Amino acid sequence: MRTNEIVHINGRYKKIDCDLIDQCHVCIRIKTGKDIRRVEVVYNDPYIRYEGSNGLVWPNYVVDMECTGETFDSYYFSVVLSCESHRLKYYFKIYDDYECLQFSESGFTKNYRDDDLSMFFIPYITESNIFKEPKWVGNVVWYQIMPTRFNKNLRGVIDKLDYLKELGINGLYLNPIYYAHSYHKYDVIDYMKVDPELGTEKDFKELCDKAHDLGMKAMLDISFTHCSDENEMFKDAIEKRKQSEYWPMFKIEEDKQGHLRYEMFGMIRSMPKFETENFKTADYFINKVVKKWMELGVDAWRLDVANEISDGMLLRLNNYIHNYKEETYIVGEIWHNATEWISNNALDGVTNYAVSRAILAFVCDPNHDIWKYRSSIDELMHAYTLKQLKSSMPLLDSHDTPRIRNICQNDKDKVKLCLLLLLTFYGTPSIYYGTERYMEGSSDPDNRRPTNWQEPKESYEDIYYMTQLLIKLRKEHPVLANEGNIEWIHHNELLIMKRANENETLYIVVNTKEYTLNTMLPMQNEFINIINNDTIYTNIEIQRLGFMILKTIHE
């Protein structure tokens, strides 16, 4: 047995293989090599005992785990266990073709008595242990806006709210609006002021109010890790040095010769870094900045460079924001695996770039195929808990990446397919301004061009209507969003993803070939393609890069 390939993570701060669904149910997961044929989990309350012939005995339950995913070299197994007493201890019995080994905190053993094993524990599950995301998050499709580039200023955003409502958008994600000299506003001079280029505080309040009237949430982007070197707090610290009340708020050092050195964001000298471990820094942002903008109507926060904010500051931010308004959403920009940041003590979700990478590789890389895409998604779905995925923000492109049109090399069919895969996955997806208008742009700053509102609709209307339709279907069929399981249906030429819950089953069928396919579906039934309401039978013709969302006519 290849024991070095078996992984189960159960730790105080990293417990991704023990998903606490509620106080009485836990999803246990384990990763193995492909030599494994079967996995059982042995479990019960740790304190239950009865008198046996040889003394006290721990009675236990033994259940088979289901293989719920695979990659090229791994299987993922999972099972949901009941724990009415709110606690568990457990170990695994793992089978290959030749032997059965026990796997516990003792490592790998064979034929040990239960009492001789140091088992995995889930201590008493309190209500506060259960990860809770805002209830509304899974119903929102965000639209990312750089106000200076979308429609000049905040008044321009207000003027386009009806346009966004018609598209199906119900969440505004605004890049920074604070006073700064740059167009992107991440180098903040004053966090307490709206940049005059964008308008006034009154304009921002009106924008939030009108968005709320249209059923939209308002999210504000902010950096707690760096500001402008023209920020008055930083200038005071540089001028007065250790005599400045703001000196502890920045990462500044003074050598014996009196020379100053300060840490910067991304090696950009004009963006000095805050010392987020300092209580005064957190106090400033929480009691002044966050408080002010939430009073004006902010429903959600996007934290720039969230992985560089100290744990202590994240905890204080989380507590303050959720105590101020419990259903506020906090999402952090993190590009790498971020399971440890999504918790009741830090973030509600993260920017899910892993989904973006999987989708774009599948659609745009000729060396990527159905199997690689399935493997990427399975790996992602076992790197995070299901709750974490449902509360994170998947996206295709943003102000930090080339636009989806450029990534897809001006292939509209590929853009549509990317939108399909984004809008039928877990989370609270974000669409970058202009995607629906087929805007182009390579790397920063070319990807931040102003919207051309005079452009003829004929040049982008097919992308617009597909975006609008997919958002509409996502809302009408929650099984396509956060209320449906994902299961792969095997086919040699098609990607088939089954999204199902107790109320509805839909099949997403994708042809990634560069030619039309005439083939047979493995599901023997009659369907409606809810994209165009065509009736579909088992034998299908599906165009190059085409897709269908099938609903069974007769269950």
CB 187 within 8 A of CB 223: no
Q: Which residue out of 333, 378, 397, 483 is catalytically annotated?
A: 333
CB 194 within 8 A of CB 154: yes
Distance from C-alpha of 39 to C-alpha of 122, rounded to nearest angstrom:
19
> In 3D, which of 224, 239, 231, 146 has the Cα closest to residue 180?
231
Distance from C-alpha of 122 to C-alpha of 345, rounded to nearest angstrom:
19
CB 317 within 8 A of CB 330: yes
SS3 31: strand
- Report, in angstroms and rounded to the nearest whole number, the Rg of the chain calculated over CA atoms: 26
DSSP category for residue 286: I
E strand segments, 197-298: 217-223, 252-254, 260-262, 264-265, 268-272
Q: Which residue out of 304, 379, 397, 483 is catalytically annotated?
A: 304
Half-sphere exposure of residue 109: CA atoms within 13 angstroms, side-chain side: 16
CB 486 within 8 A of CB 497: yes
Distance from C-alpha of 532 to C-alpha of 274, rounded to nearest angstrom:
52
Q: At what angle do helices 353-364 and 412-423 cross, to 10 degrees?
A: 140
Residue 314 host element (H or E): helix 311-324
Half-sphere exposure of residue 335: CA atoms within 13 angstroms, side-chain side: 8
Sign of CA dihedral 101, 107, 111, 113: negative
Q: Is 209 a catalytic residue?
A: no
Q: Is 304 a catalytic residue?
A: yes
Distance from C-alpha of 290 to C-alpha of 192, rounded to nearest angstrom:
9
CB 260 within 8 A of CB 254: yes
> In 3D, which of 503, 544, 554 has the Cα closest to residue 524?
554
The catalytic residues are 304, 333
